Amino acid sequence: MRLKALIPFVLFIILIAFLGKGLFLNPREVPSPLVGKPAPNFTAPILGDATKTFSNADMKGKVWMLNIWASWCAACRDEHSLLLEMRKYDLPLYGMAYKDVEQDAIDVLAKMGNPYIVTATDQDGRIGIDYGVYGVPETYLIDQSGIIRYKQIGPITPMDLREKILPLLKELNS
């Protein structure tokens, strides 16, 4: 009888353990199923010069980073200076202006500095859907064979850069 009476207590302890673990998880962050899969193909016009296009196929054989941003996105401002700083690493950074008014995006880059080698545009958000974007900024690290190795949801913080992105970059380049 005693042992049976302990069952509720034991179940409760298990529950508490999960709840405790849950406190340190972020329920809103959705891990991308695309990590470890080939980056979806796209060919998109380049910001400021619609006669030229940029495609992920152009980057075959290189480790590179795709940063999806927009001029209307406040959180994108937060990571802008860090992106500019990142030019010192051996990591080609390409931008994608997501559902943006072209002139607005050009103005932001002119005012705050342009961290991107090239900025492509995703006017109707179609590429965004393929990449599973649900809130800008989002950033993808893609390896030589075109596989997505890492996805950052929200602004990149110096800690993310130091602890996740740079070690991964080192590993991919070695």
Q: Does residue 33 belong to the site contacting other proteins (CB under 8 A)?
A: yes
**Residue 166 within binding range of other proteins, rule CB under 8 A:** no
124: number of Cβ within 10 Å = 9
Residue 36 lies near other proteins (rule: CB under 8 A): no
Amino acid of residue 78 = D
Whichever of 6 and 159 has its CB closer to other proteins, that residue is 6
Residue 158 binding other proteins, by CB under 8 A: no
Q: How far is the CB of 154 from other proteins (least distance, A)?
A: 10
Q: Which residues contact 128 (CB under 8 A, 6 or more apart)?
A: 68, 98, 99, 122
Nearer to other proteins (CB atom), residue 59 or residue 73: 73
CB of 90: closest distance to other proteins in angstroms?
30
State yes or no: residue 28 binds other proteins (CB under 8 A): yes
How many whole angstroms separate alpha carbon 160 and alpha carbon 4?
A: 48
Minimum CB distance to other proteins, residue 109 (Å): 19
CA distance 116 to 1: 70
The helix, strand and coil proportions of the chain, stated in percent and rounded to the nearest 5, come to 40, 25, 35
Contact by Cβ (8 Å): 142, 149 = yes
Query: What backbone phi and psi angles, to 5 degrees, belong to 67?
Result: -110, 120
Asked if 32 interacts with other proteins (CB under 8 A), we say: yes
Minimal distance in Å, beta carbon 46 to other proteins?
22
Q: Which residues bind other proteins (CB under 8 A)?
A: 1-2, 5-6, 8-9, 12-13, 15-16, 18-25, 27-28, 30-34, 72-75, 99, 124-126, 128-132, 134-135
